[in-house]
Amino acid sequence: MPKQTLNDIDVKGKRVLVRVDFNVPMTGGSISDGNRIRAALPTIQHLRNQGAKVILCSHFGRPNGAVDEGTRLALIAKRLEQVLGDPVAYAQECIGPVAVAAVEALSPGDVLLLENVRFHPGEEKNDSAFAKELANLADVYVNDAFGTAHRVHASTVGVASFLPAVSGFLMQRELEMLGGVLTNPRKPLAAVMGGAKVSDKIAVLENLLGKVDKLVIGGGMAATFIKAMGASVGDSLLEEERVEFAQEVITRCMHWTVDLVLPQDVVVASEFSADSPTQVVDAMEIPDGWRIMDIGPEATSTFISELEDCKTILWNGPMGVFEFPAFSQGTRALGQALASMEDAVTIVGGGSTAEAVAELGLADKMTHVSTGGGASLEFFEGKELPGVAALMDK
């Protein structure tokens, strides 16, 4: 059922509590990637333009229900102020007298960022009393945090039972773009799956197999499929308990005329390190003592050529150990190829894939890069996300 959005509700003069996802990466005490902050701007600016009092709440890090000075949102408030170009008020509490006073001081168009909601144990427990205190600060609730929509927390689910609840523009776009892959994709549809483990993608593969025209397997998880084909994988990370599942996938692809594309060659290393000796070998002939670290040049070329005639491409999981430059070539080449496919809808799953695309400077050349790692996986598994289910239906 489609959910109501900001366009379906009057917010003029109202206090609007917006759940955003400002759980940004930090390096050396500073924000290393502000994409999640920038992603919230369309919703924030719309509310300001409509004369709403904008109250933002978010989690940050894992303070485990207690005040943690290292995970306060002061730095995030400053960064938001910079990208917004206007003052942002910051309250060092998210409920209680400090928060109430900060909200009461707002004028229409003002923006306030509340303190880390995970400082309270009631947040992750979806405690109704904590949710009600948050709700009492506002007249309307907007969920714009797709990255936490799979969590049953007070600020993602509980608050929606006390206030009119709609999706923000980021949430709306995520649901439209990811939902389009499952319900009405332009064909042919390809899914490119990578990352380390098959187990992380089992439910996604189960749900997508009947929908895709091509299934491309790279990354460390390719080892399990290579083993399922009867070959040795050397010292590669192998999920022995998933080999039978990989065999089932191979069989189903044959029966359902899904083109299954596995790497013909791989880059292997003698140990898991950035400067380990490497060689390119046939994927079916990985020597003992060596492990898969990236797809090989022949596989990279084949993957790209197989995708060139596709109209919708879903990519989830890097092709190798992207954080090591020597093993980033497959991911880099694939990302550049997808970015150049102007006639295709290219959807990038969140998490490490989104990080890789951002690092390559290709995010704005993709049709959509999801802001949710775990949330996008659960969405593609076909699960209903609790934070979405809690919103008002159209």
Rounded Cα distance between 274 and 213, Å, is 35
| DSSP element (H, E) containing 253 | helix 243-255
Which of the residues 197, 211, 311, 365 is marked catalytic? 197
The pLDDT score that the predictor gives to residue 170 is: 97
Identify the domain containing residue 43 by its residue range. 6-172
Average pLDDT over residues 113-133: 98
* Backbone phi, psi, residue 163, to 5°: -135, 155
Tell me what pLDDT residue 373 has. Answer: 85
Check pLDDT > 90 for residue 1. no
Q: Residue 165: helix, strand or coil by DSSP? A: strand
351 among known catalytic residues: yes
| pLDDT score for 16 | 98
- Model pLDDT for residues 28-79, shown as the tens digit of each residue: 889 988 889 999 999 999 999 999 999 999 999 999 999 999 999 999 999 9
Q: In the annotation, is 72 catalytic?
A: no
pLDDT at residue 229 tops 80: yes
| pLDDT classification of 351: cutoffs 50, 70, 90 | confident
| Res 384 pLDDT > 90 | yes
The rounded mean pLDDT for the chain is 96
User: According to the model, what pLDDT value does residue 226 have?
Assistant: 97
- Selecting among 147, 220, 351, 373, the annotated active-site residue is 351
Annotated catalytic residue, options 19, 36, 173, 291: 36
Note whether 190 and 168 are same-domain residues.
no
Tens digit of pLDDT for each residue in 296-309? 999 999 999 999 99
Q: Are 60 and 76 spatial neighbours (Cβ–Cβ below 8 Å)?
A: yes
Q: Are residues 49 and 150 in the same domain?
A: yes
Q: What is the pLDDT of residue 361?
A: 92
Q: Residue 305: give its domain's CATH number.
A: 3.40.50.1260
Query: What is the number of structural domains in the chain?
Result: 2
43-75 CB burial, b ≥16 within 10 A, e <16: bbebbbebebbbbbbbbbeebeeeeeeebbbee
291 is catalytic: no
17 within a domain of the structure (yes/no): yes
Burial 2-25 (b: 16+ CB within 10 A, else e): ebbbbeebebeebbbbbbbbbbbe
Q: How far apart are CA 145 and CA 70, in angstroms?
A: 22
Contact present, 167 and 388 (Cβ < 8 Å): yes
Decide if 387 is inside a domain: no
Per residue in 77-104, pLDDT (tens digit) is 999 999 999 999 999 999 999 999 999 9
